[in-house]
A = this chain, B = another copy of it.
Amino acid sequence: MQVVNTVQQFRDLCRQGSRPLGLVPTMGALHDGHLSLVRQARVECATVAVTIFVNPAQFAAHEDLGRYPQTMDRDLLLLREADTDLVFLPPVAEVYPPDFATTVGVAGPALPLEGEARPGHLAGVATIVTKLLHMAAPDLTYFGQKDAQQVAVVKRLVADLNIPVRVRVMPTVREPDGLAMSSRNAYLSAEERAAATVVYRCLQAARQLYLQGERRRAALEDACRSLLGSERLVRHIDYAALVDPDSFASAGPVVERPYLLAVAVHIGSTRLIDNVLLGP
């Protein structure tokens, strides 16, 4: 496994690697969700490249950039075990040179939900993903379904900008009690960690209703919200919303095709997101 720090090294090694090349962009603090992406890339690609870069452009000033978990030695060990070929670990100045002035902005799927809760976040994601795709020029790139709106934005910009890459989306990996794996789970106290299972339970409750035939958007969203509201440690619900999985447009009053139920909540000082597709 080669670990490089400069764009030029990363670009050169990607170019020299056997094809197909798979790119897995991460912010480090790796967990089984990330590793499921690496494993899938390993199955489908001759060369697997992973990037670890905590991208300042996707954090607002008041957010958790400064305390975002860093577990570099462990990350590299896990990536080696997963048979990664190439790891790109750039310093910030290598990615954002002086006078940097360009933003890839996506309207459509980037506007609601995370777009309202975290202004600028998805533009930061869109910009860094575009940059990484230019550096690596991969045949395939891998994202997790947990960040469903990020997935929709990346698919949209890849299509809109004619970037020649296939976007592969892997299922959310969960803890045994259902909590979606997330680097931010490390922030949770023991008590908060127990409470956090409500995020999965509220999605499952809505899913149960859906499977029993409920199709009214309000009833499905309310089931989700009321369970979240019953958990004392849920400090704030940013959203619990049924949206189109591609456009992220809100569902109509009655859902007649598969929609995504997406939630974002604050438990203590930790913000968690999760989602489930309500469909056959």
Contact = CB atoms under 8 A, between A and B. Distances in A.
Interface of A: 7, 11, 97, 99-110, 126-127, 130-131, 134-135, 137, 156-157, 159-164, 247
Contact of A104 (B100, B102, B110): B102
Contacts of A247: 99
Contacts of A160: 97, 100-102, 131
A272 B161 CA distance: 30
Given A99-B247, A247-B99, A161 B104 contact: yes
Question: What 6 A-B pairs have minimum CB-CB distances, sorted nearest first?
Answer: A101-B108, A102-B160, A134-B162, A101-B107, A103-B105, A102-B157
Contacts of A108: 99, 101
Q: Which of A106, A110, A130, A164 has the most CB of B within 10 A?
A: A130
A164 B11 contact: yes
Nearest to A10: B162
Contacts of A102: 104-107, 126, 156-157, 160-161
Nearest to A107: B101
Contacts of A101: 106-110, 156, 160
A106 B101 CA distance: 5
A112 B175 CA distance: 52
29 contacts: A7-B162, A11-B162, A97-B159, A99-B156, A99-B247, A100-B160, A101-B106, A101-B108, A101-B109, A101-B110, A101-B156, A102-B104, A102-B106, A102-B156, A102-B160, A102-B161, A103-B104, A103-B105, A103-B106, A103-B107, A104-B104, A104-B105, A105-B105, A127-B161, A130-B161, A131-B160, A134-B161, A134-B164, A137-B164
